[in-house]
Amino acid sequence: MLDDIKPSKVALQEALTLSEEILCNIELSELPLANIALKTSRLARLLNDFAYQKIMEYEASGYPSTPTGVPPEIYKLAVLAGREYQTKDVKSEEIRNYIYTTSIEDLEQEVKSLEVALTAARDPDISVSSANPNQMIWNPIGNKFERNTIRTSAAIAQRQLSSRRSFIYSYVLRRHYELKFSGIAYDIFSRIRIKVDSAIGQHVPDAIQKLSAIYENLKSENPEDWSNAVHSCRRLLQDLANAIYPPREDIVKEINGSKKTIKLGSDNYINRLIAFIEEYSTSDRFNEIVGSHLRFIGERLDSVFKAAHKGSHAKIVTRDEADRYVVYTYLITGDILSLL
């Protein structure tokens, strides 16, 4: 449930370090679970995971309720946290859903108190006889009943506390691996980006400005800017095609036993890039893979470009889609530049 506002690189690195620390806190029982819940709330805040940030706050302090019950929005968060349970009415046999709102801190205190009470209940239940003050009476039945009652309460509290520990641990572990993977992916893409930026600047000097515009547009919260980033990708590939394989006369090729005209005019930038690959690459497999990717991204970019001219400019793509187009463009550009 990450928010649409993406965390900064610094925040992600801090979150990764914090997630490792929290996992150690849980695995080694270094802190009370209530304190760990608050640290996990900070982790969620760093990730802009606002729903879980609020959940972890409620886990530590308790879920708010009113005389008429738990507010619907609070109930939903409790369900997400795995606090819902069912009971069956003895008379109507109707099954009803409830949540327990007790804070982790209260659960921890309850478990400790019940342990002390259970220890005390192990002593014989001795009282003074009302008939003879000098006579002591042992009541094993009452003592056993008391111990069973305490054990039952302790088991419920311990089970709920264990559930809270498992819930927090699962959340932190999942975020930890997501952060580690995103860091690896970021490093990989950073290497590709640096290589492409350097190489394309030598062959298409104006491309640096377009790349800068792409970055800025992706940071925006305006969907129209995301579309502009996609349009810049199209212009970038057009400029690359013009630089390494300028427009020329169409050619006729034999494909699958039949002759086909391959257009290489100014508007056919994808065909020109594919022709460049076929001329300079010695690997048929490379030609097939990169050529296939080029056709795919070219069709998508062209469709986005045409949609913009039909008046749907601001509704063309989501930011996630724009991100994918930019990544595809970088990968393809890197493959093409590797042939130079």
CA–CA–CA angle 92, 95, 96 (5° rounding)? 115
Q: Residue 292 domain-assigned?
A: yes
Q: In angstroms, rounded to a whole number, what is the distance separating the alpha carbons of residues 238 and 66? A: 63
Please report, for residues 33, 35, 58, 152, 175, the alpha-carbon distance to residue 29 in angstroms, rounded to integers and kept in the order given.
8, 11, 21, 25, 20
Q: Residue 36 domain-assigned?
A: no
Task: Judge whether residue 127 has pLDDT over 50.
Answer: no
304 confidence band (pLDDT: 50, 70, 90)? low
The pLDDT of residue 2:
43
pTM exceeding 0.85: no
128 confidence band (pLDDT: 50, 70, 90)? very low
Overall size of the chain counted in residues: 340
Task: Judge whether residue 4 has pLDDT over 50.
Answer: no
The pLDDT of residue 141:
47
Q: In angstroms, rounded to a whole number, what is the distance separating the alpha carbons of residues 171 and 39? A: 12
The pLDDT of residue 64:
94
The pLDDT of residue 143:
63
Structural domain containing residue 211: 204-337
Q: Residue 281 domain-assigned?
A: yes
Q: Residue 308 domain-assigned?
A: yes
User: Which range is least confidently modeled, 79-83, 128-132, 213-217?
Assistant: 128-132
Q: Residue 77 domain-assigned?
A: no
Q: In angstroms, rounded to a whole number, what is the distance separating the alpha carbons of residues 42 and 35? A: 11
Q: How many domains does the chain have?
A: 1
